[in-house]
Amino acid sequence: GQSLEQPSEVTAVEGAIVQINCTYQTSGFYGLSWYQQHDGGAPTFLSYNALDGLEETGRFSSFLSRSDSYGYLLLQELQMKDSASYFCASYTGGFKTIFGAGTRLFVKA
């Protein structure tokens, strides 16, 4: 089967750092993406890792370890506006992406 596992909820304090983990099991793997979705809105693309290692984009970083079938999204200097759902997604080739169930991030003041 194809699955991506991520925690259902994470809570953190404003200004802190939070890490959202994702483990994947997919037939065919080209890379791991992360998307952010605010309530009632559409998902927006955050990052993509095709190779092992850390990719940094401003306050957000994403990491991939192909040997461990594992990745994470790191959010630094948390702001209230970061409260949203975060999805990891596996690009399996053939124009298809499989999404995880999402992690709901609550940022508290």
- Residues lying near another protein in the complex (CB under 8 A) are found at 30-31, 33, 41-45, 48, 50, 87, 91, 95-102, 104
Nearer to another protein, 4 or 78 (CB): 4
**Is 9:104 a contact under the CB 8 Å cutoff?**
yes
Question: 3-state SS of 1-53?
Answer: CCEEECCCEEEEECCCCEEEEEEEECCCCCEEEEEEECCCCCCEEEEEECCCE
Task: Give min distance, CB of 72 to another protein, in A.
Answer: 17
Task: Give min distance, CB of 43 to another protein, in A.
Answer: 5
Nearer to another protein, 38 or 108 (CB): 38
Beta strand pairing call for 60-65 and 53-57: antiparallel
Nearer to another protein, 8 or 109 (CB): 8
Phi-psi region of 53 (alpha: psi -120 to 50; beta: other; left: phi over 0): left
Nearer to another protein, 15 or 41 (CB): 41
Task: Give min distance, CB of 74 to another protein, in A.
Answer: 19
